Amino acid sequence: MQCFAAFSRVSLAPLLFTAALAGCSSGGDKGTTSNPNAPADSTAAAAAAPEAPADSPLQLVGELREPQFVGVAVLPDQRVLLVSPRWDYNPVAPIAILGPDNSVQPYPDAKWCTWNDSVRTEPEKHWISPQAATVDRSGMLWVLDPAAPGLKYTVPGGPKLVKIDPKTNQVVQTIRFDQSVAPRKSYLNDVRIDLDNNYAYITESSQGGLVVVDLKTQKARRVLTSHPSVKAEDIRLNVEGNPMLDPMGKPAKLHSDGIALSRDNKHLYYHAVTGYTLYRIPTAALRNVALSEAQLGAQVENLGKTPACDGLEIDANNNVYITAIEQNAVVRRTPDGKIETLAKDPRLQWPDTYFLTPDNTLYVTASAIHKTPTWNKGVGKQNQPYRLFKMQLPK
């Protein structure tokens, strides 16, 4: 494992606007805002870093001691892209191409990865705090930037969905979200692209809700913001014996987060982190602006109980893959509702985000959110590098 001095762990205070830092962390706070200088390999770690089981199907793709990365996408030419939000680090490359030697290269270039006072007048041209990336079936990359550094308030003009052509590494479309879609206390979390209908669907995890984006007109709207399906459930998450309590001692309330789009683009699946229930809704209903919130809510289908999860993915057979954060596992829900464990590995420290390639290779990040200072009374307990794994899906 190679450490990277270029990714210096520093306070974000010089980089963030005063307005963006006012107030407390959002209800969707998953990151490490309490102690930005706590080392990832803190001596406060309670145990040695876990080792791989002999029968684990997971293959290590890459690892970084810093910064914490949460998202992953694999480009058509097989380049692997990592996403590092500006939660409590100031990563040099919040969107980065991962090299085979664990090197990182800013993507699409160093200018886009720069966010400081010198560029604050052009928030639409820089990664402020990107959260997710995906690749559509035509091979285009889409990056979602909620623009809420430190998991505080959004930077005005910053929330956006950016389309990049990997063949040229050039930005070809930027869709900006105003405060009617991305309020100051919002946190846009994950995205899927529907090319059949030219729409994007996004989860919002701070307050709960979905965002529906017409990619042609670039108009977007928030929906289901009061529906129980997008809200945290009244449960207490416990990850590796660590009760997920915020700095005030309150149980984590992490709303709609994981998202998956069926291959025929007819159904959108979603799940709250603080919850044990999977939901789906017809995408036709989401696109129907004539439906009231009550009528739209009536279209939501409860698919039953699953493990608590952060990320979702779906295959051509409508198996839904779930990052089981309390079990350190990759699990899937079959169309008949059966829950199957495909990999259980102690190295899966908070399995976070999936990416499924056309050859059925499943990538998964391990972001160790439960070991960060926010959820440990200000003390970082991460005892291994942040890691990216892959596995071949069983038939």
The set of residues, in sequence order, having a beta carbon less than 8 Å from that of 57 and lying 6+ positions away, is 342, 343, 391, 392
Q: What range does the domain containing 227 cover?
A: 18-392
Q: Is there a domain that residue 257 lies in?
A: yes
User: pLDDT digits over 305-325, tens only?
Assistant: 999 999 999 999 999 999 999
- The verdict on residue 2 lying in a domain is no
10 within some domain: no
Please tell me the predicted confidence (pLDDT) of residue 247.
87
pTM, 2 dp:
0.88
240-267 mean pLDDT? 95
Residue 374's pLDDT is 84
pLDDT in tens, 80-128: 999 999 987 789 999 999 999 999 999 999 999 999 999 999 999 999 9
The count of structural domains within the chain is 1
- Expressed in angstroms, the distance from the first to the final Cα of the chain is 32
**Percent of the chain scored above 90 by pLDDT?**
79
- Which pLDDT score, from 0 to 100, does residue 136 have? 98
283 lies in a domain?
yes
Q: Which pLDDT value is given to residue 35?
A: 32
- Tell whether the model's pLDDT for residue 1 goes beyond 90: no
One-letter amino acid of 341: T
> What amino acid occupies position 256?
S
pLDDT at 283: 98
- Residue 373 confidence class, pLDDT cut points 50, 70, 90: confident
Q: What is the pLDDT of residue 18?
A: 31
Give the Cα separation of 298 and 312 in Å (integer).
23
1, part of any domain: no
Give the per-residue pLDDT at 7. Answer: 28
Q: Is residue 4 part of a domain?
A: no
pLDDT tens digits, residue range 19-77? Answer: 333 333 333 445 433 333 333 443 334 457 788 888 999 999 999 999 999 999 999 99
How large a percentage of the chain has pLDDT more than 70? 88
Is there a domain that residue 100 lies in? yes
Q: In angstroms, rounded to a whole number, what is the distance separating the alpha carbons of residues 57 and 35?
A: 35
| Domain CATH number, residue 157 | 2.120.10.30
Confidence check: pLDDT of 6 > 50:
no
Residue 20: count other Cβ atoms within 10 Å of its Cβ: 23
| Predicted pLDDT at 47 | 57
In a domain, 26, yes or no: yes
Q: What is the pLDDT of residues 216-242, one digit of tens each?
A: 999 999 999 999 999 999 999 999 998
Q: Which residues contact 71 (CB under 8 A, 6 or more apart)?
A: 82, 83, 130, 131, 132, 133, 352, 353, 365
pLDDT band of 378, cuts 50, 70, 90: confident
Which is more confidently placed, 367 or 246?
367
Give the pLDDT confidence of 273-288 residue by residue, as tens digits. Answer: 999 999 999 999 999 9
Residue 363: phi and psi, rounded to 5, are -95, 145
